[in-house]
Structure 1
Amino acid sequence: MSRPLFVVVSGVTWDGVKGSERQLAEALRAHADVLWADPPVSPATPDRYRGVAGAGRQWHPRLARTGENILRLTPVALPGLTRPGIRATTWPLVRAQLRWALRLVGRTPAAVLGCSPHDVLGRWGPGVVNVLYGTDDWVAGAELMRLDPARVAAEERAALRNADLVLTVSPELADRWRELGADPVLFPNGCDPQAYAEIERRTPIPLPPGFPQPVAGLSGQLSDRIDLALLEAVADRGIGLLLAGPRDPDWQLGRLDALLARENVHHTGPLPHAELLDVLARFDVGLTPYADTRFNRASFPLKTLEYLAAGKPVVSTALPASTRLRAETDQVWLATRPAEFAAAVAEAATAAAPDAVAQRRAVARRYSWAARAAELMELTARCAQPAQVSHRLR
C-alpha cells in the first residue's frame, strides 16, 4: 500500500526558524509523504525576506525535494500580495499552485494542514481531511505582526468552519475556539529528545575570556515576546548571560544595545539550527523570559521543552504552559518579577539533585514529536471514516 500524502501549508518558510510546523512535518515522514508549502512570495519581494535559498527573482512556483519524503513548494503571488484588493487573489493563486504540484506528482492528499487562518481548507474534495493546526493565538498576534486583528479574526472563523479536525497547542486557545463553536483537540508542542541525547559530547561554543559562570542562556529571537527587564535582572546579578538568536531591529533599540554591551552578556546573533546543540551545551540554565501577554499565555514555548531535552533546568515566567510543566517536574522554576527571576536562575544553576538530568529528559520524552505525529495519523484516520463525527463547527 502506498504511503499517504500530507500537505502542510505553513505560516513560515522552510528556511526560517525551525518551529512547530517544520518539526511536526519532519516527524510525519515516518508515516507519510509530505508536501510542504511555504508562504507565498512575489517577484517584488526583497531577497532578504524571501526565505528561499538562491531563489533570486521568482516568477514561477518552485517545487523541490528538501529531504527524505518531503517536497517543498514555494508559491508565487502578485506584487503587493497583502494589500487590499490584491490580497483577494493571493490564496486562490496558492491553492491553484498546490493543485499544480499535486497533479505533477500524481497524488491526492489524505489530509491538508492549514497552519495559519488563510483560506486553504475545505477546498480539496471528498475524502481529504482538512486540519486547522493552531500553534498560536493568531488574533492576539495580529498586532505583533502589524496586521488588522478584525480581518485575522474573520479569517480564523472561516478556517474553523472549513476544518474537519481542529488542533490547538494550548487549553487557553482551545477555550477561545470553543466559544466560537469549534470542538478542538489539545495538541501541545513537542521536541526531539533523541537529538539531545548526546549533548554532553558536543563542544560548547566558545565564550569571551573571563566570561562569568554560571551561564544562563536564551535560545530564540529577541523580540517583544521577551520581558527585557528579566534579562537585565539576570545580568545585574553578575550571572553570565548567553543570548543565541536573531534580534528584532525595531525592538527596544537603545535599551537592548546597552544590555548587549555588558561584559557578562554575549549575543551570538542568528545561528543555523544545526549549531543549537553547541549553544545549549554551554548553558547551565535555560531561560524562557516571556512577557505576560495574551499571545504568550496561549502559546507553548518550544524552547522550554528543548532545554529539558538537553538536560538543563529551566527558569520561566509563570505562563500557563510553564505552570503545567512545573506540575510535572520541580526542574522548572517559575518567577515573574525581575529580582525573583534572577534569584531563581541562581538557585536553578546550583541545584544538584543526583537524578535531575534524568528527570528533565523524562519530561521531554513525554512531549516527543514522534508521538505527536503518530497521534495526528490516528486523528486524521478517524476523521476519514464516513461514520466518524467531524470536528467542524456545530
Structure 2
Amino acid sequence: MPGLWSGFGPGRGKPISSLGSGPLMDTEPPPAALRGESVIILSTIDWDFIWQSHHEVATRLAAAGNKVLFIENTGVRPPNLSDFPRIARRLKNWWGGVKGFREVLPNIVVLSPLVLPLPYSRLAHVINTWLIGRSIASWVRASGSRPPILWTFLPTPLALSLVEAADPSVVVYFCVSGFAESSAEAAVVAASEAELVARADLVFASSEALKAKCAAVRSDVVLFPLGVNFERFSAARGGAAAAELASIPKPRFGYVGGVHRWVDLGMLAQLSELMPDAQFVLVGPLQTDIGPLRGRPNIHLLGARPHEDLAPILAGFDAGLIPYRRAPFTDSVYPSKINEYHAMGLPVVSTRLPEVEAYNLRHGGVVAVADDAVGFAAALASAAKSGSEGRAARLAAARENGWDVILPAMMARVAGILERKDGPGRPWAEVARRLQWKAPRVLVAGAAAAAALAMLIRYSPALWWAAEPLRVSHPPVSADAAVALAGGAGEGGQPGRAYEESAMRAVELYNSGYVRRIVFSSGVPGVFDEVAVMKALAVSEGVPAGAIDTVERGSGTRAMLVEAHRVVRASGCRKVLLVSSPYHMRRAALAMRKLDPVLEVVPVPVRECRFYGIREDAGTLIHSRRPAWRHLQAVLQEYLTLVYYWMHSWV
C-alpha cells in the first residue's frame, strides 16, 4: 500500500557511524523465503544513532519485501543529564514526522515514541503501553492483513507488554547486549529479560556468553554473532584511502566505533607513549570523558562518520584496534568491528576478551590478543610488518560472517515458525480493535494512578521536597547593587504579587545598607510599565529616585538578566544581590553567572511568596498552605525551563 505508507512523511536523519559485524555458529535450516510480512522491531537505539545490527536487520528485511516498523529506543534505565540532547532529538523527530512516524527508506517506517522515561515505574509502564499501543494500531491499519512478526532487541517490561498488545504471529528476541551488567540502574532488567526469553518463539544471541545466559531459561537458543556488510566493504577494498588521512603519517592504527567508557583510554595513552612514531586514529562519537587522550600528538579523534564513509577510512589503516577493557559487561560483548576490519583485509589486535578468543577458535587465531599495553604494542609492530600475510584467512572469516549469510539463516528460522503456526493470522483490523478494547482498562488504571498522585501532591510535602533543589539562598552581604526581577504587574497596572515582593525585598536591602543602587528588570509592559510601578513603590519607601535603574526591554528571565547585566557592568558593579522568588532563584543565579563569570552574584530571594504560600525564617522556608495543581505546574515548568537553558548553554 504505497499511498498509506507515504503518509508517514519523508525520510529524515541518516545513521552516523558503524559498530555492527560477526560469524554464524549454529547449524542453519534450509533457506526459506520471508517476504510480504509486517515486522515490528523494538530497538535499543534510535535510527539516527551509530549504524548497528538493528539497522542491518531492518534494512535487509525491508529489501526482502517486508514492511518494517522500527520503534526507537524506549530505554533500559532512567535518563540522566547526558541524555538530554538525545531527548531533544526525540522531540524534534516526533514533531518532524506524523505523530512520531517518518518513512526513512522504502518499506521502513520509524516511530519516535514520546514516552515517560521511567522503564520500571508501574504507572509509566501502563501509560507507555497505551501510547505505543495506539501507534502500533495506526500502523496496523496501514500495513496489511496478517499479524506482525515482532522482533525485539529490548528486554524491558514495556517490551513484554507490547508483545501482548501487538498480538504478533512470531516473537523473536535477539539478545545482543548484557543489559543487566551495563549499569546499576539497568540491573533490574534481568527479571523481564528472563520472562521474554521464556515467552519468545525464537531466541537469538550474539555471543557465547549471552547464549549461555539465555540457555539457563531455555535450551534452544541459537547463536548468531553480529555480521558485516561484506558487499560494501569488498567493493571498497583495495581502493584509495580517505583524503582526510593524507596528513596523518604511517603507520596508522585505527579504531572504529563509539569512544565510550568500555574503551581502555589509559591503555591507548600508554600505547601513544610506547609507540611515538605510530599514529592512532579513532573514528566515532565521543561518549565519555577523553581526558587521558587529550594533548597527545599521535592520537587523532576524527569523530563520527557516515557508515558509507568507513571503508575508505579503513583502507588507510595498517591494523584495526579493539582496545576494550575487561569487565562483566565486555565479557559478553562480541566486538562486531572485527569483521569490518577483516572485510578490508586488515590485521586486528585486541585485548583478551572471551568472545575474541572464541572467534579465534572458530577462525584459526586470526586476531592477535594482548594482555597489556606492552603486549599490545608488540602485536601492532608485528602487524605493521606482516604485509599480506594472513590476509586470505581474514577475508574468509569476514565472508563467513557477512550479513548476507546470517540474515537469510535467521529469516529461514522465522519462516519455519510461521509455517508451523496453526491457522491463518487474524486481520489487522481485529488486532486494532483488540487494542482499542484494552484502552478503557488502561485509562481506568491511569485515572486511579492520577488520583493517587493528586492525593500525594495535595496532602503531603512531596511537591515541596521535589522543588527544594530549585531554591538557593544566601544571607545578605554588602554589594554594589541589588538586581530585582519582576513578575508581571498586569495590563491594568495593578501590582502583581511577585512584583511587589521583589520590589520590597530590594527596598529592604537598600534601606539596610547592603547596596547603594537598585536595578529593576522586567519584560512585561502594560498600561503602566511594571518597572515604573516598582520604582514608584521604592521611592515611596524612601529610596532616592537617582539610586534606581529600570530595564524593561527583556522578555523572559534570560533577556531580563541580559539587560540588567548591561546596566550593572556599565555602573562598574563587581558584586550584586540577585532578588527573585525562591523557586526561580537557582535558574536566575546560574544564568547571571553564565553571562558574566567575573561578576559575583549572591542569591537573596524574597522573604515571602504569596503564590506558593511560603515565607522564609532564618533560611528555612515555612509553608502555610497545601500544594495545589498550579504549584505543580509552576515547579514542573521551572525544571523544564532549566533544562531548556542548559541545552542552549545559558546556564
Q: Is the 8 A contact 1:59 1:76 kept in 2?
A: no
1:217-271 per-residue CA deviation (whole Å, 9 max, x = no partner) reads 011111121122331232121211001111124x3x532xxx2321111111222
Query: Is residue 2:343 matched to residue 1:289?
Result: no
1:300-343 per-residue CA deviation (whole Å, 9 max, x = no partner) reads 11111111111111001122221122231443111121110111
Query: Is residue 2:163 matched to residue 1:129?
Result: no
- Give TM-score, length-normalised by structure 1: 0.86
Instruction: Give 1:152 deviation, angstroms.
Output: 1.0
Instruction: Kindly report which structure 2 residues correspond to 1:1-80, keeping only aligned pairs within 5 A, or say none.
Output: 3-31=36-64, 32-40=66-74, 46=84, 48-51=86-89, 55=93, 61-78=99-116, 80=117
Instruction: Give 1:64 deviation, angstroms.
Output: 2.2
Of 98-107 and 110-119, more deviation after overlay is shown by 98-107
Match of 2:383 in 1: 348
Q: Is the 8 A contact 1:27 1:373 kept in 2?
A: yes
Q: Is the 8 A contact 2:176 2:205 kept in 1?
A: yes
Q: Is the 8 A contact 1:225 1:290 kept in 2?
A: yes
Q: Secondary structure at the match of 1:201?
A: coil
Match of 1:169 in 2: 206
Match of 1:114 in 2: 152
Match of 2:263 in 1: 226
Q: Secondary structure at the match of 2:51?
A: coil
Same amino acid, percent of matched pairs: 27
Q: Secondary structure at the match of 1:206?
A: helix
Q: Secondary structure at the match of 1:6?
A: strand
Q: Is the 8 A contact 1:199 1:281 kept in 2?
A: yes
Match of 2:252 in 1: 215
**1:205 to 1:319, Cα distance in 2 relative to 1, 3 A:** farther
**1:49 to 1:276, Cα distance in 2 relative to 1, 3 A:** farther
Match of 1:391 in 2: none
Distance 2:128 2:96 in 1: 15
Q: Is the 8 A contact 1:115 1:135 kept in 2?
A: yes
Q: Which runs of 5+ in 2 are unaligned?
A: 1-33, 76-82, 423-651
Distance 1:261 1:106 in 2: 57
Query: Is residue 2:348 matched to residue 1:314?
Result: yes
Instruction: Give 1:380 deviation, angstroms.
Output: 1.1
Query: Is residue 2:348 matched to residue 1:277?
Result: no
- Write out the 4+ residue segments of structure 1 that deviate beyond 6 Å after TM superposition: none
Structure exhibiting the larger radius of gyration computed from Cα positions: 2
Distance 2:211 2:134 in 1: 31
Q: Secondary structure at the match of 2:315?
A: helix
Distance 1:280 1:19 in 2: 17
Instruction: Give 1:286 deviation, angstroms.
Output: 0.3
Q: Is the 8 A contact 1:287 1:316 kept in 2?
A: yes
- Correspondent of 1:384 among 410, 418, 421: 418
**1:3 to 1:291, Cα distance in 2 relative to 1, 3 A:** same
Distance 2:301 2:120 in 1: 36
Match of 2:225 in 1: 188
**1:61 to 1:81, Cα distance in 2 relative to 1, 3 A:** farther
Distance 2:111 2:182 in 1: 26
**1:323 to 1:352, Cα distance in 2 relative to 1, 3 A:** same
Q: Is the 8 A contact 1:60 1:76 kept in 2?
A: no
- CA RMSD of superposed structures (Å): 2.7
Match of 1:364 in 2: 398
Match of 2:196 in 1: 159
Instruction: Give 1:120 deviation, angstroms.
Output: 2.9
Q: Is the 8 A contact 2:237 2:344 kept in 1?
A: yes
Query: Is residue 2:182 matched to residue 1:141?
Result: yes
Match of 1:331 in 2: 366
Higher helix share: 2
Distance 1:5 1:318 in 2: 41
Distance 2:334 2:226 in 1: 6
Equivalent residue pairs, number: 373
- Correspondent of 1:247 among 270, 281, 286: 286
Aligned residue type for 1:73: L
Tell me: higher relative CO, structure 1 or 2? Use CA pairs within 8 A at least 6 residues apart: 1
Match of 1:392 in 2: none
Query: Is residue 2:129 matched to residue 1:96?
Result: no
Q: Which runs of 5+ in 1 are unaligned?
A: 389-394
